[in-house]
Amino acid sequence: MMEKQQVLQKITDRQAVVGILGLGYVGLPLMLRYAEVGFPVLGFDVDSKKIDAINAKKSYIHHIPTSVMAQLPDNAATLDFSRVKEADILVICVPTPLDKHRDPDLSYVVNTMESMAPHLRKGQLISLESTTYPGTTEEEIVSRVVARGFEVGKDIFVAYSPEREDPANENFNTKTIPKVCGGHTENCLQVAKAFYEQGIDQVVPVSSTRAAEMTKLLENIHRAVNIGLVNEMKIVADRMDIDIHEVISAAATKPFGFTAYYPGPGLGGHCIPIDPFYLTWKAKEYGLHTRFIELAGQINRNMPQFVIEKISLGLNQMGKAINGSRILILGMSYKKNVDDTRESPSLEITHMLNQLSAKVYYSDPYFPTFDTEKFGIHLESNKTVELTKENIASYDMVVLLTDHKDYNYPEIFEYASLIVDSRGKFPRHPKVIKA
């Protein structure tokens, strides 16, 4: 086991070159973490803008300050995948979205492996972190390694360790979030565990890559199903003229058996709206239909329409139609305090308002300008609206979709003509419509 001992020694001595493939919300924090603890790091991406920013020591993610980029070595990122051979550790952190049929799209993983494969060498660890269905590591990573003539567990080591990043979470970070890890063989697990223990406080080993893949899906499906439940409860409570946020706060005082989940305008981000479909798709291969999961997904996907109905109701009470009304959207990102629009319900709601001929504006401190062409939506201005008293009062309606901490909620409440509140930030009042 010469290769295993050599890579373990390099890891222990922190001389192993850590290659990160995919430098987004997962890859960049991981790269920074291993640079922080003294490993030589090398980042790979197909986006030249990210490469240029890293090599200029500038952050392109809002919650990561540029000041921490200084710990990266010079020329720490590259477009050249032939340099994969320089890395001892290869961590794949690329997107795993859905295609237009809402089936898993593994093209980023496959393309990354195809780019890496000619440059693999003995003694490397390949760890996939992208969220995916059970069996992906075996089918897409191991198979390609074997096809190059390597013996997995002896020549090259393969593991799956799902990312658990939560951007802008002030309580947890890459270092402190426990890391689940499964290896294709016992040797693979030992090497991967040794690597992750150098940068993460707690590593949680599991018996296989498939168990690790399923762990990640369970975590996110658990959230998706419970959010679906509370979204359905919100609709019932709304019909009964009960404030669901008051109910959740009261229920959360129970010290056991209840976990608070909060409703919203729909699910966003790369994980929660997407991951359940990875399992439902794979389950069909085994003749199973995940009805409970699919029902929760259906409820969550219907929430933007519920918000539109509330917008229409509110304007109608003022004797106005959506057509031609000036509507200010608060928040374009999928969650508060981040500059991330992946799967954001704000985009879908804006698109729906476009179809109804509303005049839509936005205010979001994390997006001074907004690329409407990229997202296929129309805004009356691609610049964020400054929330002055005069500006707030000038709109027919303000719609809160993302509850950033930067907003002055009392001032918005005082000066807005009408508010649709999908996040429970405003008090019950005749001019506030809960959505």
Q: What is residue 409's three-state secondary structure? A: helix
Going by C-alpha positions, the residue among 202, 129, 211, 212 that lies closest to residue 165 is 129
What CA–CA distance (Å, rounded) separates 94 from 112?
Answer: 8
The backbone torsions φ and ψ at residue 191, rounded to the nearest 5 degrees and listed phi first, read -70, -45
What CA–CA distance (Å, rounded) separates 70 from 153?
Answer: 36
- The tokens describing 263, both together, are 């409703």
Q: What is residue 42's three-state secondary structure? A: strand
Do residues 203 and 197 make contact, with C-beta atoms less than 8 angstroms apart?
yes
Residues written for the chain: 435
What CA–CA distance (Å, rounded) separates 351 from 13?
Answer: 53
Instruction: List the strands of the sheet with 326-330, edge to edge.
Output: 359-363, 326-330, 397-400, 419-421, 432-434
- The H-or-E segment that residue 157 falls in is strand 157-160
What CA–CA distance (Å, rounded) separates 114 from 133?
Answer: 20
- The tokens describing 358, both together, are 């509303």
93 is catalytic: no
What CA–CA distance (Å, rounded) separates 366 from 299?
Answer: 29
The backbone torsions φ and ψ at residue 270, rounded to the nearest 5 degrees and listed phi first, read -80, -20
End-to-end CA distance of the chain: 60
Do residues 332 and 341 make contact, with C-beta atoms less than 8 angstroms apart?
yes
Catalytic residue among 93, 181, 188, 271: 271
Point out the residues that are catalytic. 271
